[in-house]
Structure 1
Amino acid sequence: MKKVELSLMVLALGLNALAVEMFQKSALAVPALPLFIFSLIVVSWVIGRSSEVVVEGLDEVARVLGFPSYSLGVVSSLASTLPELTMTLMAVASGTVEMVEVAVLASLSSVGLGILLL
């Protein structure tokens, strides 16, 4: 990733955060839907570009260590599900019915989205 693109990503995220903050304080007279769509586009672009950098880095690490590239992909996948698993387990451990329902729904929606994307 070039420095120019990295700078654009940081600038886009900063402007996006500023716009959302101003909207929440009612200092920005913009309808909510266009701001949401713009924010979604900006954040999706940043996530997409940064994930390419991570994949290239993982491929390089796998090559240096002599592992097949898919093995570090599996490790990356497990690492990306740890926060979700932690939050789900904390919700279940709280014992309240509503939190358990949220934990179950979060798990089911995550699995469903994973199936749709694969």
Structure 2
Amino acid sequence: MKLVLAIAAGGALGAVARHQVSASVMRLAGSGFPWGTVVVNVLGSFLMGVLIELMAQRLNVGIELRAFLTVGFLGAFTTFSTFSLDFATLFERGAGVAALGYAALSVVLAIGALFAGLAVMRFLLS
């Protein structure tokens, strides 16, 4: 039961953080392209890399805290379902090239950010 509560609490905080970050980015960048979703997915992927490496090398955390951070917080913070909806919206509006660019940009940057997070923590912890 503690594990479920940890995930739920992390999820609640991650969802609120996603909304705040996404809204802030959209205010700065405008609403013509889903930059808010790109930013939360890239940032979330980077943070996942940082946390996974940190927990693997230095932090001996319990399963509840690990689940709170990764499954709960970052699971709710990153937005694959929103990513899919943004892609479909761009595509259905006739912006097929922008939709494909959005998908490629999101996937490449998010995976790159995860590797960057791993590398940063490996460097800092070595």
Question: Would you say same fold, with TM above 0.5?
Answer: no
**Which of the pair has more CA radius of gyration?**
1
> If the length of structure 2 is used for normalisation, what is the TM-score?
0.37
